[in-house]
Amino acid sequence: MKVTVKQGNIEASNADATILFSYEDVLIPTRYMAAFDEVSRNLLRQMIDAGDIKGKAKEVQLVFLPDTRRVRRLIFVGLGKKSEANPEKIREAFALSARKVREMKWHSMDIAPSMMGLDFPTEWIISMAVESMRLGLYRFTHFKTEEGENIRHTVELTAWIEKEEDLKKAVQAAREAERLGDAVIFVRDLVSMPSNEMTPKAMAREALKIGEKRQSIKVNVLDEKEIKKTGMHALLGVAKGSREEGQFIIMDYQGSESKGAPIVLVGKGLTFDSGGISIKPSENMEGMKTDMAGGAAVMGVVMAAADLKLPLRIIGLIPATENMPGGLAYKPGDVLKTLSGLTVEVISTDAEGRLILADSLTYAKRYKPAAVIDLATLTGACIIALGENVMGMMGTARELKEKLMHASELTGEKIWELPLWEDSYEAIKSDIADLKNVGGRPGGAMTAGAFLSKFITGYPWVHLDIAGPSWLNKDHPYTPKGASGVGVRLLVQMLKNWSAIGDE
Ligand code: BES
Ligand code: ZN
Ligand code: ZN
């Protein structure tokens, strides 16, 4: 989606469609709309009276304006009650309108923040529009070789700014929203890619490419030999069952003017989780190509942080491997020695995520981080507990959790906290080693969190289980069904807030 920001009157536009919002309680909310009504001989008023425009949330209505100036078509998107308009509803409405434009096979659309009847700053409206339209129009077309379904259809957006003094901020907001959208789309593409293409080495190559294009990011990749030398035997244990070599990807973003200790992000990068010797049932196993969504999200956040020039140092750690039942595969009953020195009895080779994260969380310590956040498609139990739209949050740092909750309210990426209580620690006690990697079915998301917490020493830490929201089986307005790129917008928002506090 190409985006242009112009100063001027939208009435000079000749786009295929102009997007407007309607509200349940204020159906003609701006003087511009009143003007449209007038030039169209009260067409809007008549449609409202006939009940064709109700302003209900997610209602999309097309209006054709005959013989009027240049604006020919209006798309009215309902937002519900005006007083209840919030960023999430606005993003949904913009995304739905962009998808309508594509459905109609039109190529250009216009918005004018001052015409939407919203009480938000112009640059906010622009940024919500650009971000959500772009994300709403996303499709994973990499493997579509046949034309059809209008696969290559493109849509352009022009945003019209009324006052010259608002132009600079609006252009900046549009560019930033584009960069953030790029990062989310990068993650969606990586997660959608099947495991025969998106191998651990391919993930490492993607990270190196990100670094090559940006001076502020240094990328270093450890191969299995180096992983072994470092002492990450839990990661190595999981990688052993596959012919694809495991990789430990380190991305180091150093923003200019960054002060203070770095923030470390850790992402589970299981490019395919067959379950290993504790093999998964074949039904839905294809979905396990997405078990690297946490790792991909970390790559996306580091990329966005650099492109938005955040004044922070951010380290991304991505243990990347397959979990396969090869001849050298680790087996139930095996004991692995983690980088921390703690030993783990393997009960199920399918609880592999916590093993590779354990080593990574210990590795994180060498950066003396101000905070560590891990993202992982860790447990099916988290999906059962919270549903497919919600991340499970666990951790030891109240303030960091609050920062994430606050960012989540702004971005609409839902988080719910789960407790780390004694029962969960009891469940992972082993008879022969320090810990076992499974604590039974009850409270599975929390025993996984409790397991990870055993490897946290001396830094604030939060774990986000993204098994549910990383892949959606249902379409959402700005998150089409499939890979969502969850975590990127959330963490970028949190990091932006973080750097703003640093400025004070
Ligand atoms: N990658 C899975 C978790 C998962 C399940 C992610 C569904 C996305 C959708 C993880 O490695 C796993 O297999 N977890 C097991 C843990 C169990 C063996 C304790 C699970 O959730 O069943
Ligand atoms: Zn597994
Ligand atoms: Zn897994």
Residue matched to tokens 């055993």 = 454
Q: Which residue's alpha carbon is nearest to atom 14 within ligand 1?
A: 379
CB 432 within 8 A of CB 333: no
Report the 10 Å Cβ neighbour count for 161: 23
458: left (phi over 0), alpha (psi -120 to 50) or beta: left
For the Cβ of 16 lying below 6 angstroms from any atom of ligand 1, the answer is no
Q: Which residue's alpha carbon is nearest to atom 8 within ligand 1?
A: 467
The question of whether 280 is a catalytic residue gets the answer yes
Ligand 1 atom closest to residue 270's alpha carbon, by position in its atom list:
1
How far apart are the C-alpha atoms of 478 and 92, rounded to whole Å?
6
CB 393 within 8 A of CB 417: yes
Active-site choice (81, 280, 337, 365): 280
For the Cβ of 380 lying below 6 angstroms from any atom of ligand 1, the answer is yes
Q: What distance, in Å, lies between the first and last C-alpha atoms of the chain?
A: 36
How far apart are the C-alpha atoms of 498 and 403, rounded to whole Å?
8
Per-residue model confidence as pLDDT tens for the chain (504 residues): 999 999 998 877 889 999 999 999 988 888 888 888 887 888 889 999 999 999 999 999 998 887 656 678 999 999 999 999 999 999 999 999 999 999 999 999 999 999 899 999 999 999 999 999 999 999 999 999 887 767 788 999 999 999 999 999 999 999 999 999 999 999 999 999 999 999 999 999 999 999 999 999 999 999 999 999 999 999 999 999 999 999 999 999 999 988 889 999 999 999 999 999 999 999 999 999 999 999 999 999 999 999 999 999 999 999 999 999 999 999 999 999 999 999 999 999 999 999 999 999 999 999 999 999 999 999 999 999 999 999 999 999 999 999 999 999 999 999 999 999 999 999 999 999 999 999 999 999 999 999 999 999 999 999 999 999 999 999 999 999 999 999 999 999 999 999 887 544
Dist. CA 340 → ligand 2 center (Å) = 22
Residue matched to tokens 């064709």 = 52
Dist. CA 351 → ligand 3 center (Å) = 7
For the Cβ of 137 lying below 6 angstroms from any atom of ligand 1, the answer is no
Q: 94-97: list long-range contacts, CB under 8 Å, 24+ apart.
A: 94/19, 94/128, 94/129, 94/132, 94/133, 94/136, 94/478, 95/132, 95/133, 95/135, 95/136, 95/137, 95/477, 95/478, 96/58, 96/60, 96/136, 96/477, 97/17, 97/19, 97/60, 97/133
How far apart are the C-alpha atoms of 6 and 171, rounded to whole Å?
9
Report the 10 Å Cβ neighbour count for 81: 14
For the Cβ of 353 lying below 6 angstroms from any atom of ligand 1, the answer is yes
Of 300, 285, 274, the closest CA to residue 189 belongs to 300
Dist. CA 132 → ligand 2 center (Å) = 32
Dist. CA 402 → ligand 2 center (Å) = 29
For the Cβ of 447 lying below 6 angstroms from any atom of ligand 1, the answer is no
**304: amino acid identity, one letter:** A
Ligand 1 atom closest to residue 323's alpha carbon, by position in its atom list:
11
For the Cβ of 348 lying below 6 angstroms from any atom of ligand 1, the answer is yes
The length of the chain is 504
List the structure tokens of 381: 């139990």
Dist. CA 73 → ligand 1 center (Å) = 49
Q: What is the number of the ligand closest to the CA of 378? A: 1
b/e 449-486 (16+ beta carbons within 10 angstroms → b): bbbbbbbbeebbbbbbbbbbbbbbeeeebbbbebbbbb
For the Cβ of 349 lying below 6 angstroms from any atom of ligand 1, the answer is no
3-state secondary structure of 51: coil
Handedness of CA 473, 475, 478, 482 (dihedral sign): positive
How far apart are the C-alpha atoms of 197 and 292, rounded to whole Å?
13
